Amino acid sequence: MVAILVSLIIGFTVITVYSVYAMLVLRKRENEYKKAKDISKAIEDLDEALNAAINELNKMGSLIQAEVDEKYKAICFIYNLIDDKQKENGKLAVPKALPKMTLPKAVPKKKVTPKQEIQIDVDVTRDELAELGLPAKAKSPPKFANPKHKEIWELHESGKSVTDIAKEMGMGKGEVKLILNLVNM
- Domain for residue 87, yes or no? no
- Domain for residue 133, yes or no? yes
Among 23, 51, 68, the domain boundary falls at 68
* Angle formed at CA 38 by CA 34 and CA 39, multiple of 5 degrees: 115
Per-residue pLDDT reduced to its tens digit, 102-125:
544 544 455 544 444 444 445 556
Per-residue pLDDT reduced to its tens digit, 44-84:
888 888 888 888 988 898 889 888 888 888 888 888 888 88
Domain count along the chain: 2
Report the CATH number at residue 129. Answer: 1.10.10
DSSP state string for 14-63: HHHHHHHHHHHHHHHHHHHHHHHHHHHHHHHHHHHHHHHHHHHHHHHHHH
pTM (predicted TM-score): 0.32
Q: What is the C-alpha separation between 158 and 141, in angstroms, rounded? A: 12
Enclosing domain of residue 182: 124-185
Per-residue pLDDT reduced to its tens digit, 3-51:
888 888 888 898 898 888 989 998 998 998 888 888 888 888 888 888 8
Among 20, 52, 68, the domain boundary falls at 68
- Domain for residue 95, yes or no? no
